[in-house]
Amino acid sequence: MATTEAHTQLADALDTFERLGARPWTARAGNELRATGLSVGASGVTGPASLTPQQGEIALLAAAGLTNKQIAERLFLSPRTVAAHLRRLFPKLGAASRAALRDALADLPPD
C-alpha cells in the first residue's frame, strides 16, 4: 500500500518538476520513482542533472584523470562496475571521451 502511494506522489512530483523545468529535481524524482520499482521513460533531462549521485562521482573522478581501477578502489566498486557506469553516463553528458567529461561537467556546482 505504501509503495502504491509513493508511486502516485513521485509520479505527480516528476510531472510537476518537468513542467517547471527544474532539472535537478526532475532527475531526483525520477531516480526515486525508479527505486520504487517503476520504470521511468526518458524525461528529456540531460547533462549533469541527469546523473545519479554515484555516476556524478565516477564522472568527476574520471574527468580528473583516474583510471577505472583507481576509481573502483576509491569507491569500493569493481572496475567493471565503474566501466558500466561510464558507458551509461557518457551519452547523458554528450561526451565521447574522458577528456570531454571535464567540459561536460563544467556546470556542476562546487561542493
C-alpha count within 13 angstroms, C-beta hemisphere, residue 21: 0
Q: Give pLDDT tens digits for 65-98.
A: 999 999 999 999 999 999 988 998 888 888 888 8
Residue 41 pLDDT exceeds 70: no
> What b/e string do you get for 68-92 counting C-beta neighbours within 10 Å, with b at 16 or more?
beebbeeeebeeebbeebbeebbeb
Tally Cβ neighbours within 10 Å of residue 108: 15
pLDDT for res 108: 59
Which of 15-19, 22-26, 107-111 is predicted least confidently?
107-111
CATH T-level assignment (fold) for domain 48-104:
Arc Repressor Mutant, subunit A (1.10.10)
Which of 5-14, 48-57, 80-89, 97-106 is predicted least confidently?
5-14
